[in-house]
Structure 1
Amino acid sequence: MKQLLLTSLIIVLLTACQRSSPSEPAAVASAPAASSDSDVIRVEFLPTTDNEYTVMKAAGASHAMIFTINHFMRSGGIELWMEHYVDGQLHDSVNRFTSYVADNVANNKIYFSIQRISDEEQRWTFAVRQGDNLASAQANVLISNQTAMVSTPLNDVEMTGGDATALGTIVVSEEDTPLSASTDIEATIRQNKEVYVLKCKASEDNAGV
């Protein structure tokens, strides 16, 4: 119950933060186009200095990544999931969450956060915001409290409809060994025993939603 309240608090506080923040981005339609190709969608990492991170951490998030969705020229679905790699090989996937995004709504964002719910378990939340509406899904992941973790987002990503694109990584280690993390996704997977890759895919109107 406590964790559900924390998650609800994050959503409520983020909504209030969006309404009151004077530095809120303009409508998506006014964002600079990433390409002349209308199928290209630009996803940009929101700097950690933004007060949304402060709100999420105050509500219990130990790790968070926030991305703005720009140049979304067509309504459609945004799918989020985590690919789990062990010893350089794809092991499994964590959650597959799809939300609908309209092309004429301002303030489209992607959220990923981690909350500790016990010494051996974490709650990972995937969310998509459009305007004041936020849809989310959660997955419980068995990761010890003694595990070291480092998250690395990609700053600026372009993707086209139907193509899966990496937005960032989470490297975990239960050993006393240095973690190697960078924006080079393939190198990060090769150089670490266990890596999670946050993936995103956009679909055309009504596809998969």
Structure 2
Amino acid sequence: MYEDLVALGKSTLLAERIARRERVVNTANKAVGKKSRRGDGTFGELVPTAMAIAEDGLHVARGEIANIEIGAETKILAKAMIKQIDRVIGDLIRQAEQFKRTGGNPICIGIVGINQASSYTSYEGDREYLTDGRREKHPNQEATTAEQRVRAEAQPHFFELQILRFRATNIPPFPFEWVNLTQTEKEYSSLLLRLSREYDKRFST
């Protein structure tokens, strides 16, 4: 996401700070000296005594951060969504709260992938478990309800929460497709634009 923000080029402030290695992605996904659960991606101000580590092909360096300016949490719902929806929503909410407890005014982003395939196979050792549409619901039977609950219960805790709708059966050769690639790209690029504007608003000083 942070590389995408640079590529979008809508926040000169963000791009300049990244280019000067003043802002980095935290490899441990937390702020130094702040106790918190591990997020899926934290971005903030480099610890003054730490070193920013650049990687070939990437604009955003890695390093330890003193504070969190942007925090992201990602969840994937592939099957048995309703059975695990309470845990997933709880994890999302708790992570957003943890980002905010580090101090400052972090921008919290949630990303939730929801499978809409007509069937799905899971594996446990040599055993396979195929959804049957009855006791084991197919992903597309639960996707709408899962999305509604995530939006109603988790989304209010985030500045933005992106739903990524996809189809994956988990059967060789493991095909994957977006439900609507054009719409997904529009929603994601719009999120990046709003995030860029919000970054300039919150962290201009």
Query: Smaller-chain TM-score range?
Result: under 0.3
Please, what TM-score do these two structures have when normalized by structure 1? 0.27
Higher-Rg member (1/2): 2
- Please state which structure has a larger fraction of its residues in helix: 2
